[in-house]
Structure formats: structure tokens, C-alpha cells
């Protein structure tokens, strides 16, 4: 079945409707925000609208606006965690909404030390405490994704002092022990997830399944496994490196997933998965052929994963590669962001608060 491509007039008409509804939503939300957070029953509505604005701005390519909504919503959530007595909203509702904010935060900032979100760790779902439950398969692939998302968010929530100093060796010994313990907790949770994932595939009869969802889960496990297998403290100050053959394995998986989408279809996803994997390959390997293939795969399909636009990133990395080949810089990680550096791929200027 073919896929229709919208005409310029159709796009313009949709934009007009979208802008009208957007402005209407803002107009109606303003009065609801006049109550203080600790007594405002409209908090869930305000936060959900904030999330919708993030998705909308990301879809339109207005990243800085999306970041502003994301930061504003997280500040509101963080303020609620400090309210006593609790606001007139159930803890479970706030936890579910906070998971969406934390998930976007971990998706848009995997390559930067700058955290644009307020600390929302108090809303985190704990790992399964029941040892028997931790050894059982998940009930569904949706649960597999949910737990992996929690692990990614736990990694994001952790305050790494080495992120601020830039050097693991410069962090005081006591703090290093705290950070190492935090990493071991995340690592242990991932290893439990990995074992349960394999059990789940067996329980659901999906060991040989080659659907997009299962193949994508295998890719995400692969990327996590690369990080888990390279966790010697001696390497924490160095940029991650990958050999060409390891890069090829990752790119083969990504190419297979990309090929499952019709070439005429433009894709927008609410989770960043394939594009960050290609950025990791490019930044972790100095081999020119590997880097060129990563750029080619970014152009294989037009995708936007939250704020990560495949064509824009391909152009950015291509320019970076040209500078490397010309001797203007060493092969390595370009400035990805989001940060306040205008040379970064994702430029972000926080609002003054």
C-alpha cells in the first residue's frame, strides 16, 4: 500500500489549524495557573498540556520552545514534591506524569552533562523488591519497555559530580564511592532486566521473532551492554571508543529497523532510539568509513525522534567529518548538546528564573 505525501496547501492548512488550537489552549490554561500549586486541582491538566506543547514544538522542529516547556513543567513537578501537605492530586497520578517528563529528559540529554530538568528522582518507581518477581518474565513487551525506561531514567536522575568537574579523577574519593555505588545499582537493575527480557521472549514464544518491536529491544539491549561491559574506572575519564566491527553490528541492526519503514514515510517518535545509536557510533569510532556509513543511515529514512532530526544531524556530522579530514579537529565527539554553545547541534538557552 502506498503512502500519500501532503501537498504544500494541505501542510499550510494543517499548520493554521494547529496554531489556532495551540493558542486557544494557552489562553484557557493561563487562568487555571493562577492558583498556588499546593491547592490547585488543575495541576494534572496543566502538566499534561505542557507535555503536549513539548511534543508539538518538537514535531514542528522548534526545539528551544520544546525545551522551555519541558523545563517549566519539570520545575512545577519538582515544587510539588516539596509541598506539605501534598497537593490535591494523587501521588500515583503525579508519578505517572513525572515518568513522562523524566523519560523525555533522558531521551534528549544523553550526550551532555547539562541537565535542563529539575530533579524528579522522588517520583521514580523503585526496582522490583521481590526477588521472586525479579526472576520471572515480564507479562508483556510493554512491561519490558517500561522497566528499561525506568532504568534509563534512574541513570538520568543520578547526580554525577564528575559531570560537573569533567574528570572522574578530580572527584573526591568519598564522592567517587557514592557515584560508583549508584552506577552499580543501575548496572544490577539492567542485568536483571536483561535476564527477564530473554525469559519473556521464551514465555511469549518470541525467541525467533523479527518484528520491529523485538528487534528494537534487542538493539537497546546491545547499546546498554556496550556500556555495561566497558565500566572500568580507568576508562571513565576517556571518551567511549568502539572498534569498526562492533560499529558494524550496531549499524546493521539500525539499518534493518530503518528498512521496515516505507521510504516515503516521515516518522516522528516519542522516544529516541535509532538516531542516538548512530550518534554513538559516529562519536565513538575514528574510522572514516564507519562514520560515513553512520551519516548515510541517518539519511536512509527521514525521522524525528523527539528533538533528534535525522537529516539535520546528518548535515551536522558531515560538516564535522569534513573538519576532521581537513585536520581542523581530531576525530571524536562533536559538541552535541543540548547546551548554550551555539556551535552545538542542539543549542539551548535557558530562561532566566
265-274 pLDDT, tens digit each: 889 999 999 9
pLDDT the model gives residue 353? 45
Q: How confident is the model at residue 30 (pLDDT cuts 50, 70, 90)?
A: confident
Q: Looking at residues 252-275, what average pLDDT do you find?
A: 94
pLDDT at residue 114 tops 70: no
Give the least confident one: 52-56, 128-132, 302-306: 128-132
Q: Looking at residues 3-19, what average pLDDT do you find?
A: 66
User: What does the domain layout of the chain look like in residue ranges?
Assistant: 1-113, 125-229, 250-332
pLDDT at residue 326 tops 80: yes
DSSP letters for 51-114 = HHHHHHHHHHT-HHHHHHHHHHHHHHHHHHHT-SSPPSS-HHHHHHHHHHHHHHHHHH-TT-S-
Q: Looking at residues 70-92, what average pLDDT do you find?
A: 79
pLDDT at residue 307 tops 70: yes
pLDDT at residue 35 tops 90: no
pTM over 0.85: yes
Cβ neighbors of 51 (< 8 A, separation 6 or more) are 69, 73, 97, 100, 101, 104
Q: How confident is the model at residue 243 (pLDDT cuts 50, 70, 90)?
A: very high
Distance of CA 231 to the CA centre of its chain: 21
pLDDT at residue 217 tops 90: yes
Residue identified by cell 542516538 is: 276
Going through 252-299 in order, the beta strands assigned E by DSSP cover 267-269
pLDDT at residue 237 tops 90: no
List, in sequence order, every residue forming a beta bridge with 269; answer none if it has no partner.
305
Q: Looking at residues 144-167, what average pLDDT do you find?
A: 77
Give the least confident one: 35-44, 81-90, 312-321, 342-351: 81-90
pLDDT at residue 165 tops 60: no
pLDDT the model gives residue 235? 53
pLDDT at residue 87 tops 80: no
Q: Looking at residues 45-52, what average pLDDT do you find?
A: 91
Closest CA to 229 of 279, 194, 272, 271: 194
The answer to whether residues 70 and 120 touch, using CB atoms and an 8 Å cutoff, is no
Q: What are phi and psi of 289, to 5 degrees?
A: -65, -40
Secondary structure (3-state) at 330? coil
pLDDT at residue 123 tops 90: no
pLDDT at residue 234 tops 80: no
Give the least confident one: 14-23, 175-184, 245-254, 326-335: 14-23
pLDDT the model gives residue 159? 66
Amino acid at each position: 500500500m502506498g503512502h500519500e505525501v501532503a501537498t504544500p496547501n494541505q501542510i499550510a492548512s494543517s499548520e493554521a489549524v494547529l496554531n489556532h488550537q495551540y493558542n486557544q489552549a494557552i489562553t484557557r490554561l493561563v487562568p487555571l495557573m493562577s492558583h498556588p500549586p499546593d491547592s490547585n486541582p488543575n495541576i494534572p491538566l496543566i502538566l499534561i498540556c505542557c507535555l503536549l506543547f513539548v511534543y508539538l514544538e518538537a514535531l514542528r522542529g522548534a526545539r528551544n520552545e520544546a525545551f522551555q516547556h519541558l523545563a517549566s513543567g519539570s520545575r512545577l513537578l519538582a515544587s510539588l514534591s516539596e509541598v506539605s501537605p501534598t497537593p490535591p492530586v494523587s501521588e500515583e497520578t503525579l508519578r505517572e506524569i513525572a515518568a513522562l517528563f523524566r523519560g523525555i529528559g533522558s531521551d534528549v540529554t544523553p550526550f551532555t552533562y547539562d541537565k535542563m530538568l529539575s530533579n524528579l528522582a522522588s517520583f521514580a518507581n523503585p526496582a522490583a523488591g521481590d526477588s521472586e518477581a525479579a526472576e520471572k518474565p515480564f507479562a508483556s513487551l510493554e512491561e519490558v519497555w517500561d522497566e528499561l525506561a525506568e532504568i534509563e531514567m534512574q541513570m538520568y536522575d543520578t547526580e554525577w559530580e564528575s559531570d560537573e568537574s569533567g574528570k572522574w579523577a578530580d572527584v573526591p574519593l568519598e564522592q567517587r564511592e557514592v557515584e560508583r555505588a549508584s552506577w552499580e545499582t543501575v548496572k544490577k537493575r539492567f542485568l536483571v532486566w536483561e535476564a527477564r527480557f530473554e525469559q519473556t521472549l521464551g514465555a511469549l514464544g518470541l525467541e525467533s521473532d523479527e518484528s520491529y518491536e523485538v528487534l528494537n529491544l534487542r538493539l537497546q539491549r546491545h547499546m546498554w551492554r556496550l556500556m555495561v561491559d566497558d565500566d572500568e574506572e580507568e576508562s571513565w575519564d576517556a571518551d567511549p571508543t568502539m572498534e569498526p566491527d562492533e560499529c558494524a553490528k550496531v549499524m546493521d541492526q539500525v539499518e534493518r529497523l530503518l528498512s521496515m519503514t516505507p521510504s516515503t514515510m516521515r516518522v516522528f517518535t516519542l522516544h529516541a532510539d535509532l538516531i542516538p545509536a548512530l550518534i554513538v557510533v559516529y562519536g565513538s569510532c575514528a574510522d572514516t568509513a564507519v562514520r560515513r556509513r553512520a551519516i548515510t543511515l541517518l539519511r536512509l529514512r527521514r525521522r524525528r525522534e523527539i528533538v533528534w532530526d535525522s537529516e539535520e544531524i546528518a548535515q551536522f556530522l558531515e560538516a564535522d567529518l569534513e573538519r576532521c579530514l581537513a585536520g581542523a579537529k581530531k576525530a571524536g565527539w562533536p559538541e552535541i548538546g543540548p547546551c548554550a554553545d551555539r556551535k552545538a547541534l542542539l543549542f539551548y538557552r535557558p530562561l532566566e528564573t
